[in-house]
Amino acid sequence: MGGTIAGRAERADDNVGYRAGQVPVEDLAAGLPALAGLHLRFEQVAQINSKDMRLADLQRLLKRVQDCLVDPEVQGVLITHGTDTIEETAYLLQTLLAPTKPVVLTCAMRPATAVSPDGPQNLCDAVAVARCPGAKGVVVVCAGRVHSATDVAKVHPYRTDPFASGDAGAVAQVEEGQVRVFRPWPGESAHTARLVTFLAAKDLPRVAWVDSHSGAQAWEVDVLLANGNAAGVRGIVVAGTGNASLHNDLEESLKRAETAGVRVVLGTRSGLPMVPYATQPFPQLDGLSPAKARWALTLDLLDG
């Protein structure tokens, strides 16, 4: 899919001023010892910076992964992807496909042209995971850690180990090509009907994401719904402070949105699941982070 792992910089000592999605996927894998002798099929589904992901890119990826998974010759699928939205792509793949084979996303924080790129080792580790007996479901492999699609979140803008899995922790760890498994692989319960609808969608229900914060004001929601909701907003994910607490002014505007037919769901700014409380004004969705709750709500609304 592109990303920093396929990025190119002008200078080898520049780890941040690069162009993502430049190096073809075959070239990323060339010469890696962990891949020698394996029967690999390469496909450049997209070549983008994942911050610019569009519905059509996700649809193309989901379709290709779905087709690969039904091929009896395929043992696993590896996806190179940008780190910025990898957790959202992973969540969608897991929710819509829930594969019984491993679907391993990997990435890098340094471009392929770096003095010491992290992509090659991540790719080798991802292959080790894809070949691991019993591995299944969608995971993200980076810096030796194997994160489940549901729990993974990017929590650092620069470190080569930028992901965390919250309180759940990583699913496994790769050490010298060996996979040490800590807990069960992501489970199976795909929304196959939703997959069909998602792949056929020309556009998605509009779901906005707002934060509560010190000094939050009603206009932040009111502008979204201006002119009788001319923008056609169908849902709002609100990331609350602390345990999903909301500024009173923001909460009131969200209540007005709800009365106007907009679905409002609650998450936390930390991205971790909230502890439900009696006066909670809106529901949370499966303890998901705001980024993933936004997709979950989008898929719900797509169902009608």
Shortest distance, position 44 Cβ to ligand ASP, whole Å:
15
Does residue 109 bind ligand ASP (CB under 6 A)?
A: yes
**Residue 84 sits in the site that holds ligand ASP (CB under 6 A):** yes
Burial of 28 (0-12, 13-18, 19+ CB in 10 A): buried
Return all residues near 232 (Cβ < 8 A) that are at least 6 apart.
206
Site string for ligand ASP, 10-39 (x = CB under 6 A): ----------x-------------------
Tokens of 5: 């792992």
Q: How far is the CB of 83 from ligand ASP (least distance, A)?
A: 3
Q: Tell me if 4 contacts ligand ASP by CB under 6 A.
A: yes
Stated length of the chain: 304
How many CA atoms lie less than 13 Å away from 189 in the CB half-sphere? 2
Q: Are 169 and 183 in contact (CB under 8 A)?
A: yes
Q: Rule CB under 6 A: is residue 83 a binding residue for ligand ASP?
A: yes
Site string for ligand ASP, 144-183 (x = CB under 6 A): ----------------------------------------
Q: Which of 4, 83, 89, 95 is catalytic?
A: 4
Q: Does the footprint of ligand ASP cover residue 3 (CB under 6 A)? A: yes
Residues 51-70: x where in contact with ligand ASP by CB under 6 A, - otherwise, as a string: x-------------------
DSSP 103-161: EEEE--SS-TTSSS-SHHHHHHHHHHHHTSTT--EEEEEETTEEEETTT-EE--SS-SS
**Closest CB to ligand ASP among residues 147, 247:** 147
Q: Which stretch binds ligand ASP (CB under 6 A): 34-42, 78-86, 136-144, 271-279?
A: 78-86
Nearer to ligand ASP, 185 or 295 (CB): 295
Give catalytic status of residue 259 as yes or no: no
Distances (CA, A) of 179 to 42, 105, 122, 128, 173: 24, 16, 13, 7, 6
Catalytically active residues are: 4
Binding site for ligand ASP (CB under 6 A): 3-4, 20, 49-51, 82-84, 107, 109
